[in-house]
Amino acid sequence: VQLQASGGGLVRAGDSLRLSCAASGGTFDWYAMAWFRQAPGKEREFVGAVSRSSRYIKTADSVKGRFTISRDSAENMVSLQMNSPKPEDTAVYYCAADGAQRWDYASTDARQYAYWGQGTQVTVSS
């Protein structure tokens, strides 16, 4: 499966931004989907994940209550709605997919994801 992330850009703290990741070349419902991010000089970190069934959703504590991950099987897309972003949310955001996870589970471990998009830069100004 190929993943294409979009929607990044420069946003002010407190505004909203929506990232999208379009999947192609595979059966979308076979894949658990996730978002990770990596800031300069830091390791890649988990942001959110949604299971193949859409019933299991996990969000990192650092963004809980502000960011929402969702998937749309009709559009073969996973989205990350970013509300009230903070300067510390500045990073390159990556979408990821994996076809080996259970129907009702999505891992928070980047090593469990086999497919990655190219990343989209999000910069939050104060």
Q: What is the mean pLDDT of the chain?
A: 96
Mean pLDDT of 34-54: 97
Mean pLDDT of 68-87: 97
Mean pLDDT of 93-104: 94
Mean pLDDT of 6-25: 96
Tokens (6 digits) for 80: 């990350």
Residue 26 has pLDDT above 90, yes or no: no
Residue 8 has pLDDT above 90, yes or no: yes
What percentage of the chain exceeds 70 in pLDDT?
Answer: 100
For position 27, what pLDDT does the model report? 92
| Residue 110 backbone phi and psi in degrees, to 5 | -60, -30
For position 68, what pLDDT does the model report? 98
Grade residue 126 by pLDDT with cuts at 50, 70 and 90: very high
The C-alpha atoms of residue 32 and residue 49 are separated, in whole angstroms, by 7
CA distances from 89 to 8, 12, 16, 29, 42 (A): 12, 11, 12, 29, 12
For position 41, what pLDDT does the model report? 95
CA distances from 13 to 26, 93, 126 (A): 36, 17, 5
Beta bridge partners of 28: none
